[in-house]
Amino acid sequence: MSSVEDLDRHFREEVAGPRSAARTAGPAPTDGAAGSGARAASTSAASRPLGGALDARTALDLFDAQLESRHTDAAARWMQQQGRGYYTIGSSGHEGNAAVALALRPTDPALLHYRSGAFYCARARQAGGVDAVTDMLLGVAAGADEPIAGGRHKVYGRRELAVIPQTSTISSHLPRAVGVAWSIARAKRLGTECAWPGDAVVCCSFGDASVNHSTAAGAINSACHAAYQGLPMPVLFVCEDNGLGISVPTPHDWVRHTYGNRPGLAYFAADGCDPSAAFDAACEAVAHVRKRRQPAFLHLSMVRFLGHAGSDAEAAYRMPTEVAADLRRDPLLATARLLTAAGVLTQQQVLERYDEVGGRVFAVAKEALDSEPLTNATEIAAPIAPRRPDLVAAAARRTSEPPALPAPVGEPVTVAQAITHTLADLLGSYPEMVVFGEDVGRKGGVYGLTRGLQRRFGTARVFDTLLDEQAILGLALGAGLSGLLPVAEIQYLAYLHNAEDQLRGEAATLQFFSQGQYRNPLVVRIAGYGYQRGFGGHFHNDNALGVLRDIPGLVIASPSRPDDAAAVLRTCVAAGKADGTVSAFLEPIALYHTRDLHTEGDNAWLAAYPPPAEHVPIGRARTYGTGADLTVVTFGNGLPISLRAARRLELQGIECRVVDLRWLAPLPVEDLLREARATGRVLVVDETRRTGGVSEGVVTALVDAGFTGAIRRVTSADSFIPLGEAAQLVLVSEADVERAASEMLSAGPQA
């Protein structure tokens, strides 16, 4: 494995011969060097062409960015040795990506691979006023003053640089990048403000191993799918190919074979270790995307130095000859040779420049050692989910004048009708709102909930997507980030699990990793739960919510009644607008078209459609009845089940109050505790599973709040839901509720 010392020694020897290696006893100088001769030479030769598109001034900027990135990697490992460096995945060997940054504009949004350090340094030089080295090393030290994540993670990001912070999940940022690219033209078409210039190019970089991940394959496919239909898709996919996925080699020529002849995807390739070739290819690729508004794939061959990260011992899986071959391709050496061959710098000036940058980087590293870390949990979690109920209420009261569609205020509606009318009201109130998903356009959704919306609001605002949940959510994430207000539909809860990381790893983390500087407001409508009759099986009757309930900051709405469905949906959209909230809006399929509650024809499950300004604050429950014997806590399909059971229990002399949670995250703890204390007995009716179900959170919330009364729960079984009548054998039933309630009352107050 090449070490920091190896890279330093090799660079010096190759630039000026073996004697230069003796000038340093460490990986880099610890204080600044003059380098005045290098600066003078660079000024006099600034306009000199070096071949291709690269001139001397640009080459010097590229070299300086490469030097900053290389020395920052060395400093990060030195900081780790001092006990204050927490991130050692570096960019050494990938410094050719600086050429991509210089081919772009500083206003072009960039979503960067974790080895794109030189890109970030070059972008900072382009924009001016930003010290990339300080940003990166404060991130390494987890310093609270780091400008994007504030010490929460080491990410590349700056709002002033249009660099959007990303996590390190493999290629998870590509669907969002496609969504950002799509949003540029769509915002203009809708006449709404966009975060990016109208001719911007969206750049996203990733490694060669990532091209094999379903997320990357799906994102690139969705970009090609959009371009095939003539939709503007100005996204540049940059594959930084070093031939390794940690220790697993990428088959020779696999990336080119896979993406080199993809219809609708222009392919550009170059040696990323050759600054002139990399810059020429990057300029050509960027010009193609900017002019044609179509996607392109830029394939840059790289090398990887210093292993995957600080703990990676390459000797376990690489031959010394392979490491030596990579050293001969060092991109810093290639740029130095280009500059000396053209007479822009002398060999001595190259070394002076190298030392000058190294001294400055290590001076910053010393300062970063003393940076203040985050000091308390409240401070750490603050950006995740800001809650400003007054602003949300104000946004929820926003209505169109005149109403977008004649809303049947006061008229009885079903859950499905309430959602349809509310979507229409919201589309009329928010011109930046878009509604999309599989089948939501002409068909109007699998269950008809979006029927008529496309005809009324047009295909630019209500439209179908390809059948790929990752692509749907990525489109939403990019749209929200760019200034639109997306309401995406996932057809069934079971289908969400294909793409759940887009919510967990991307949507929910954006405000956390940017201290709220970036946000992606989003409402995901999800048809779910069980109890469908005549249709279903597991994939259409899924009751697994555990995967959603532990995502920090994610709001989970679960209305059951028509009036609540309307009011809660308004709140979710308003919270997205006001606070950048990400909401999962769970719709109980079995209740969509339900009209009756107790007897056929009673119409007791219909409700008056509420006025457009009416909403339900996040985390507020609804109570039915005032019974003093038992508090039944439930949600979703559990509400009609519990209400029917409560009526029969009343005939047995047991008076119940039924609490509909309406919000599963955050739970309505205040309302829950009040209603629990009113009776001293709580029965939780949970249609999700016993293990990992909602009832676990409810019971824990009560105990944590100091409730000392009796608690019991009835749940569905820890099973997938089978087809047909067998489903009733694993789902919680009215008989389960009645039996548990009777047993609690017969056992006394502490049962």
Domain boundaries for CATH 3.40.50.970 within the chain: 56-371, 389-609
User: Is there a catalytic annotation at residue 538?
Assistant: no
- pLDDT score for 397: 83
With H, G, I as helix, E, B as strand and everything else as coil, classify residue 632. Answer: strand
CB-CB contact of 211 with 217 (8 Å): yes
List the chain residues with pLDDT less than 70.
1, 18-48, 168, 400-407, 534-536, 748-751
Q: At what angle do helices 56-81 and 331-341 cross, to 10 degrees?
A: 150
| Separation CA 374–CA 379 (nearest Å) | 7
- pLDDT score for 167: 77
Q: How far is CA 439 from CA 152, 502, 523, in A?
A: 39, 21, 17
Which of the following is catalytic: 153, 540, 593, 598?
A: 540
| Separation CA 293–CA 688 (nearest Å) | 46
Sheet with 582-588, side-by-side order of all strands: 462-464, 433-437, 485-490, 522-528, 582-588, 555-557, 663-665
Q: What are residue 716's DSSP bridge partners? A: 689
Closest CA to 428 of 459, 450, 408, 406: 406
SS3 of 157-215:
CEHHHCEECCCCCCCCCHHHHHHHHHHHHHHHHHCCCCCCCCCCCEEEEEECHHHHCHH
Domain 622-746 bears CATH identifier 3.40.50.920: yes
Residue 536 amino acid letter = G
Domain 389-609 bears CATH identifier 3.40.50.970: yes
- pLDDT score for 585: 98
Q: 344: which residues sit within 8 A by CB, 6+ positions away?
A: 41, 42, 45, 48, 50, 56, 59, 60
Neighbour tally for 107: CB within 10 Å: 15
Phi and psi of 301, rounded to 5°?
A: -80, 125
Closest CA to 470 of 262, 221, 266: 221
CB-CB contact of 306 with 27 (8 Å): no
Label the pairing between strands 244-245 and 248-249: antiparallel
pLDDT for 44-74, tens place per residue?
Answer: 555 667 778 899 999 999 999 999 999 999 9
Neighbour tally for 622: CB within 10 Å: 19
Domain boundaries for CATH 3.40.50.920 within the chain: 622-746
Q: At what angle do helices 132-140 and 56-81 cross, to 10 degrees?
A: 20
The structure tokens listed for 678 are 């009113």
SS3 of 17-84:
CHHHHHHCCCCCCCCCCCCHHHHHHHHHCCCCECCCCCEHHHHHHHHHHHHHHHHHHHHHHHHHHCCC
Q: Across 438-538, where does the E strand assignment appear?
A: 462-464, 485-490, 522-528
Sign of CA dihedral 492, 493, 495, 501: positive
Residue found under tokens 């000036």: 349
Sign of CA dihedral 645, 650, 652, 658: positive
| Separation CA 135–CA 57 (nearest Å) | 24
Q: What fold, for 56-371? A: Rossmann fold (3.40.50)
Neighbour tally for 47: CB within 10 Å: 8
CB-CB contact of 699 with 707 (8 Å): no
Residue found under tokens 């080119």: 256
